Amino acid sequence: MSQSAPIRIDLQLIADMVEPGGRALDIGCGDGSLLAYLVNFKQVDARGMELSQAGVNACVAGGLSVIQGDADTDLHDYPEQAFDYVILSQTLQATREPRAVLEQMLRVGKRAIVSFPNFAHWHVRLRLVFGGRMPETPSLPHKWYDTPNIHLCSIDDFRALCRTMGVTIERAVVLNRNSRRIHMPPLLANLFGEQAVFMLQRD
């Protein structure tokens, strides 16, 4: 699969965190754009797992190594430390048991890279406080009754979970609503960040 087109900014951030030549598993790899980037530009031995059969078929037809699978149930099959990186982009909030998924990611991989939308972004807060309705924003476009996002969290919530789990945050990148990187103290980052990318490691 030739992939010269630029990839989504959060995927690019993830790709930048991956050292060339390693092994990576992308959970919820969608159409495989991150996988293809990692394979073609970072010489990574990259594998994918995707829930939608259409996504899987498209990836495999594109020459990528992808299986149909579910983050909640199918990580158990992999041996410990099978990958250098296990990646979960914009999917954590849609899992049934986010903490268990993170545990599995850090069992299967030496490092975990996770990106998610920040539910404490000022835009979300305003919608809820002044609109009185469940927030709908560009990064959270679904109605409350048909959203796949069943475990939304804020950046601070995620940091707290990492502390509880005894997981080291090696890197944290926060993006504002224009997908620009912001450098702010945690309290402000949790207000102005629309999404975040974390690289984690077991202590």
Partner 1 sequence: MFDDLTDAESKALAQCRHAVLGSDRPMRLDCGVELGPFRIAYQTYGTLDAGKSNAVLVCHPLTCDQFVAGQHPVTGKEGWWETLIGPGKVLDPARYFIICVNVLGHCMGSTGPQAREPATGEAWNLRFPVVTIADMVRAQAALLDHLGIPDLFCVIGGSMGGMQVLEWAASYPSRVFAAVPIACAAHHSAQNIAFHEVGRQAIMADPDWKGGDYRAHQVVPARGLAVARMTAHITYLSEQALQRKFGRSLQNRDAVGFGFDADFQVESYLRHQGSTFVDRFDANSYLYITRAMDYFDLAGAHGGVLANAFKGSPTRFCLMSFTSDWLFPTRESRTVVHALNAAAANVSFVEIASDKGHDAFLLDEPEMFRTFAGFLQGAANARGLRNGK
Give the residue, chosen from 4, 5, 20, 79, that forms a contact with partner 1 under the rule CB under 8 A. 79
DSSP single-letter state for residue 178: T
Number of residues forming the site for partner 1 (CB under 8 A): 21
Give the residue, chosen from 65, 137, 179, 201, that forms a contact with partner 1 under the rule CB under 8 A. 65
Which of 105, 197 has the CB closer to partner 1? 105
Give the burial class of 21: count Cβ atoms within 10 A of its Cβ; 0-12 exposed, 13-18 middle, 19 or more buried: exposed
Give the residue, chosen from 77, 128, 160, 184, that forms a contact with partner 1 under the rule CB under 8 A. 77
Alpha helices (runs of H) in 115-154, residue ranges in sequence order: 122-126
Which of 63, 148 has the CB closer to partner 1? 63
* 64 binding partner 1? (CB under 8 A): yes
* 66 binding partner 1? (CB under 8 A): yes
List Cα–Cα distances, 198 to 10, 43, 52, 172, in angstroms: 11, 22, 25, 5
Rounded distance, CA 159 to CA 188, Å? 14
Give the residue, chosen from 22, 33, 51, 78, that forms a contact with partner 1 under the rule CB under 8 A. 78
Which of 13, 36 has the CB closer to partner 1? 36
Rounded distance, CA 175 to CA 30, Å? 21
List Cα–Cα distances, 54 to 32, 66, 133, in angstroms: 11, 12, 34
Q: Residue 155 in 3-state DSSP?
A: helix
Q: How far is the CB of 77 from partner 1 (least distance, A)?
A: 4
Site for partner 1 in 30-59 (CB under 8 A): 45, 47, 53, 56-57, 59
Which of 47, 121 has the CB closer to partner 1? 47
Give the residue, chosen from 68, 137, 179, 201, that forms a contact with partner 1 under the rule CB under 8 A. 68
Helix axes 98-108, 155-165, angle to 10 degrees: 60
Q: Where on the chain is the footprint of partner 1 (CB under 8 A)?
A: 1, 45, 47, 53, 56-57, 59-68, 74, 77-79, 82
